[in-house]
Chain A
Amino acid sequence: MAKSTRRKASGRKITLIQTDQTARAVAATIGRRKPVKVSFFVRAPDNVKSKSFAVAARLCGCRNVCLAFVDPD
């Protein structure tokens, strides 16, 4: 279990715990404080088999050249 401490922009101190234990097991070790589970996914994967042209996989991927976003969503 690795611990590190950060201060949020609001000034509030938070302790990050990196562990493979369950949230319940962690809660048992940190007294009154309530753990908040941080997701494994920062961004969930797209379903690559989906046939829809969704926001996450849009028609036009050219970022540097043309004027337009082709935005069929």
Chain B
Amino acid sequence: MRGKIKPALPERSEDPRVTVSLTVNGEPVARTVSVRMLLSDFLRHELGLTGTHVGCEHGVCGCCTVHIDGKAARSCLTLAVQASGSEVRTIESVAAGDGALHPVQQAFKECHALQCGYCTSGMVMNVLSRFEEPGALDLSDDGIRDMLSGNLCRCTGYSNIVTAVRRAAELLGRTE
């Protein structure tokens, strides 16, 4: 308020801190943060990578899905300090450097597989990790829905996401 003495307000938390060193999207990162900081908050607020979204903080919705050491994982159920020493990959690493969409992203766009976009990052990271796993893909309707279960979407009703996964497989030359 103008003319009033500015209140003395705290600047930062007094939580014990810990140094977290990891690789994020190929770049080494070392930050000192609160010991209890969740990986989701670390990525979003410490590193400014806000593409990873938070939907529930109890591991059910999948919006926060990233890759930890090459495998899909819930960043809301991981402490940042647990990820020290790991390689983490987020949605920001998926498109090409010039912004060109990855085939999975391209398929989502073609198939109208997103509406509000909030679940989309986690959905793409989940799908990507399954495509990158060794082994055959089950691209039947049941098989794709099985792949997608674990990621909630409230907007699309999933049918276009199923179509997009099939289209992504096509774009990537995967028949199975």
Partners in one complex: no
Interface residues of A (CB under 8 A from B): none
Interface residues of B (CB under 8 A from A): none
